[in-house]
């Protein structure tokens, strides 16, 4: 495309027509225009642009087109191989289709779009767009790129080999084969937006970064090999949002959001939310192995705090605190505290390992499911289900449906047992299944406010009372009593 310069003139005080210094605008016959500014350019690069196919969908050649493209002002702004695009102002901004991704190549009705077309840069400096139908409003050094390829091929595709973004413009793309055709293929993510900030980057589809510094939304699924019978893959990064903050990352995730903070990440965590804080992580990789969790890492939420992490499984929650860790335990929650941990009893998680709750405290840990720790220090539950520790220090439960109420170094290893112990350094243990153990170094003090007046006074079976002279016990019909004595 060649731009035609249009010069403007003015009449001076002597009535002489003189040219106005500077260029009013440049235009071509296809509706592309540079209205002002300096050193800006709209151009084609040989071999890049639209890809054309014949009536059967076979590769035919390239056609360059920058029609309906406009640069309003600024300096050193450039549009290359990207039709129907607009740069408003700023400096060193670029919209380009040079990386060659393709949309909707169909044997029935070819619909051909250049990579980077229909995009907008409002202003700022050093901003670049390489995907279609994307927007950068302003800021500095922000990039929306299309290195990752997105495939959509629901029809018969006999031969597709790995797709490259660089190849000779005189040869057909290698995924066309020699005598085959492609009915539908969608490559090159687009429909992204960056509002402002600095050094932010999107390489995904249908995603937004509001602002901040060095924030990224990335999909790393870049190529694939399909046969006639395979189901096409979807891009691993879609419909994500980063609000603001610094060094925030969403990678290989869909429908997720990071709302501020610093050094926070969601990696393989679909439909998840991370709100503020520092160095927090949500990921679909199990925290104790390099393998993916058995469950998808979906619907997890992490709010604030520092160095908190959610690994694997779904619907987990961490609210504040520091160094808290939840892995493979669906529907579980850690509410504040420090160095608390909730884990599945197996590397890949189990259906029964779910709905654990740790409320505050520090160095508390749960492995299993349906267990609860309320505060305290260094408390630990290793039962499969339904146990609880309320406060205390260094208490341990290794059985189901058991409980410890406060104290220090209390251990329960019996089914359905309850232990209430003191805070001395000696170890207290449960006695048997389904028992209540009271273990106090200075004894147990019982106080009775009620004393029966006669053996027929109101009472219930097993009820105990006492006064200065007698111990009373109700047998289900009457009260009985035993006299106090000195020995």
- As a 3-state breakdown, the chain gives helix, strand, coil percent values, each rounded to 5, of 0, 35, 65
What is the average per-residue pLDDT within 191-219?
A: 94
Cβ atoms of residues 148 and 235 within 8 Å:
yes
Beta partners for 354?
330
Fold of 1-257: Alkaline Protease, subunit P, domain 1 (2.150.10)
- Grade residue 29 by pLDDT with cuts at 50, 70 and 90: low
Residue 377: both structure tokens together: 């220090």
- Grade residue 192 by pLDDT with cuts at 50, 70 and 90: very high
Strand 216-218 vs strand 193-194: parallel, antiparallel, or unpaired? unpaired
Question: What letter does residue 175 receive in the DSSP assignment?
Answer: G
pLDDT at 353 over 60: yes
What was the pLDDT predicted at 87? 94
Cβ atoms of residues 448 and 435 within 8 Å:
no
Q: What is the pLDDT of residues 102-150, one digit of tens each?
A: 433 333 333 334 456 789 999 999 999 988 789 999 999 999 987 655 4
Of the segments 216-220, 269-273, 341-345, which one has the largest average pLDDT value? 269-273
Strand 143-144 vs strand 128-129: parallel, antiparallel, or unpaired? parallel
Q: How far is CA 245 from CA 139, 140, 260, 310, 324, in A?
A: 14, 15, 4, 20, 22
Taken in order 305, 307, 308, 313, is the CA torsion positive or negative? positive
**Of 345 and 181, the one with more pLDDT:** 345
Query: How far apart are alpha carbons 231 and 105 in whole angstroms?
Result: 18
Cβ atoms of residues 410 and 423 within 8 Å:
no
Map out the domains of the chain as residue ranges.
1-257, 261-391, 446-487
- Grade residue 36 by pLDDT with cuts at 50, 70 and 90: confident
**Of 424 and 444, the one with more pLDDT:** 424
Residue 268: both structure tokens together: 């393989």
Fold of 261-391: Alkaline Protease, subunit P, domain 1 (2.150.10)
What was the pLDDT predicted at 260? 95
Query: How far apart are alpha carbons 187 and 257 in whole angstroms?
Result: 24
Q: Picking from 36-50, 197-211, 300-314, 350-364, which range would have the lowest pLDDT averaged per residue?
A: 36-50
Report yes or no on whether pTM surpasses 0.85: no
Do 1-257 and 261-391 show the same overall fold?
yes
- Give which of 308, 287, 310, 284 is closest to 295, Cα–Cα: 284
What was the pLDDT predicted at 26? 61
Q: What is the pLDDT of residues 53-92, one digit of tens each?
A: 444 444 444 445 667 888 898 999 998 877 788 999 999 9
Residue 395: both structure tokens together: 């208490």
Strands of 240-332 (E only): list them.
Answer: 241-242, 249-251, 257-259, 265-267, 273-275, 281-283, 301-303, 309-311, 317-319, 325-327
């Amino acid at each position: 495309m060649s731009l035609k310069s249009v010069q403007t003139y003015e009449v001076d005080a002597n009535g002489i027509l003189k040219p106005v210094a500077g260029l009013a605008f440049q235009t071509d016959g296809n509706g592309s225009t540079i209205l002002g500014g300096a050193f800006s350019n709209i151009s084609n690069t040989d071999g890049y642009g639209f890809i054309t196919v014949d009536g059967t969908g076979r590769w035919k050649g390239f056609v360059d087109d920058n029609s309906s493209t406009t640069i309003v002002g600024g300096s050193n702004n450039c549009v290359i191989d990207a039709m129907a695009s607009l740069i408003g102002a700023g400096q060193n901004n670029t919209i380009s289709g040079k990386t060659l991704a393709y949309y909707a190549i169909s044997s029935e009705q070819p619909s051909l779009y250049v990579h980077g077309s229909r995009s907008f840069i409002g202003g700022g400096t050093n901003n670049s767009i390489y995907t279609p139908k994307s927007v950068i409003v302003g800021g500095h050094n922000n990039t929306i790129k299309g290195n990752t390829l997105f495939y959509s091929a629901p029809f018969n595709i006999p031969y597709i080999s790995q797709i490259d973004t660089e190849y000779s413009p005189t040869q057909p793309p290698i995924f066309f084969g020699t005598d085959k055709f492609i009915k539908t293929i969608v490559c090159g993510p687009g429909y992204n937006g960056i509002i402002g900030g600095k050094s932010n980057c999107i390489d995904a589809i249908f995603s937004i970064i509001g602002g901040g510094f060095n924030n990224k939304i990335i999909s790393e699924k870049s190529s694939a090999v399909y046969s006639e019978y395979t189901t096409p893959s979807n891009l691993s990064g879609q419909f994500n949002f980063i609000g603001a903050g610094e060094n925030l990352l969403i990678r290989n995730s869909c429908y997720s959001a990071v709302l501020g903070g610093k050094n926070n990440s969601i990696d393989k965590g679909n439909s998840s939310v991370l709100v503020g804080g520092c160095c927090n992580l949500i990921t679909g990789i199990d925290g104790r192995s390099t393998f993916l969790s058995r469950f998808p890492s979906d619907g997890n939420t992490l709010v604030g705090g520092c160095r908190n992490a959610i690994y694997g499984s779904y619907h987990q929650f961490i609210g504040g605190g520091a160094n808290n860790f939840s892995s493979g335990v669906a529907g579980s929650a850690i509410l504040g505290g420090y160095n608390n941990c909730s884990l599945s009893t197996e590397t890949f998680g189990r259906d029964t390992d779910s709905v654990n709750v740790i409320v505050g405290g520090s160095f508390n840990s749960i492995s299993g499911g349906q267990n609860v720790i309320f505060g305290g220090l260094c408390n630990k539950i290793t039962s499969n289900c339904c146990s609880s520790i309320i406060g205390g220090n260094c208490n341990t439960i290794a059985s189901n449906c058991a409980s410890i109420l406060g104290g220090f170094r209390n251990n329960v290893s019996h089914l359905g047992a309850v232990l209430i112990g003191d805070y001395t350094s000696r170890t207290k243990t449960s006695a048997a299944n389904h028992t209540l153990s009271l273990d106090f170094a200075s004894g147990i003090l019982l106080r009775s406010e009620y004393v029966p007046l006669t053996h027929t006074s109101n009472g219930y079976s097993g009820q105990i009372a006492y006064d200065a002279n007698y111990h009373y016990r109700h047998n289900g019909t009457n009260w009985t009593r035993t006299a106090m004595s000195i020995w």
